[in-house]
Amino acid sequence: MNCAFTIKGWSAFAPGLMSRADWMAWAAEPYLPLGDATPALEEMPPLLRRRVDKLGRMALQVAWWCQQGHDDKVPMVFASRHGDLGRTDAMLQMLAQDQPLSPTQFGLSTHNAIAAQYSIARHLTGNCICISAGDASPEAAVVEALGLLADGAEEVLVVVYDCPLPDRYAVYRDEPEAAFAWAARLGHAGAGDVRYDLQVDGDPFGIAVQDAGMLPHGLEVLRFLIGGTPLLDHQESGRGWRWRRHA
């Protein structure tokens, strides 16, 4: 499968990185973002804003920045490898201590809860897909978005976000971790647009499996999309993914 698209707009947040200029400088000389900064998310009503924690605030903030206008029918794809695992971990600890669980906390821990809060706050009624596909979650999100474009959507809002795992899950870490979120509006490429394509195949392109680099894969994809590199290859579960940029 080989699919093409362009990016109509994008936004991103990580501790110490907020403006477009910050991110473009980071793309030229990347590093692992560290820190505890959380976006203000002032666009969201306070009664709803207090329901989302750091992960949700990052995801919703970049979605709000990227979706400047109000199109209540715009389809969306939210993708996170781990989701709000910190909230889930806290509830598991409560269960282990025979403490009652809050129905509200349980509802907010589900993988579609962050996207649902965004839809409620902005009164959106369009299609919304929530993805978790391991370290290929960004690729899976774009594949879903391309399917929506093929079905007639003019644009699709893609939001990719993650936070470091709780310490008790350290044994499962297989890549560098950072708190980050980015959003992009994907559309059909027209004359003069920068065009991207994403190819997936069972053939891993003959590239040897490499050790994890300095970035989580979600940030590697963002760096490719906003930087000038022409190619990004990724392997996951014996499957090869190839991103290409055509100026």
Could you report the per-residue pLDDT of 127-141, keeping only the tens digit for each? 999 999 999 999 999
Is 119 in a helix, a strand, or coil? helix
Instruction: Read off the DSSP letter of residue 14.
Output: B
Instruction: Give the start-to-end residue ranges of the domains of the chain.
Output: 2-190+208-227
What CA–CA distances, in Å, run from 47 to 58, 120, 202, 224? 17, 12, 47, 37
- CATH number assigned to the domain with residue range 2-190+208-227, chosen from the 4 options 3.40.47.10, 3.40.50.720, 3.40.50.300, 3.40.30.10: 3.40.47.10
Q: Is this prediction's pTM over 0.75?
A: yes
d(CA 58, CA 37): 10
Mean predicted confidence (pLDDT) in 59-69: 93
- Residue 237 — very low, low, confident or very high, per pLDDT cuts 50/70/90? confident
pLDDT digits (tens, 9 = 90+) for 131-172: 999 999 999 999 999 999 999 999 999 999 999 998 888 898
All residues at 6 or more sequence positions from 93 whose CB lies less than 8 Å from its CB, including other chains: none
CA distances from 239 to 172, 205, 242 (A): 21, 9, 10
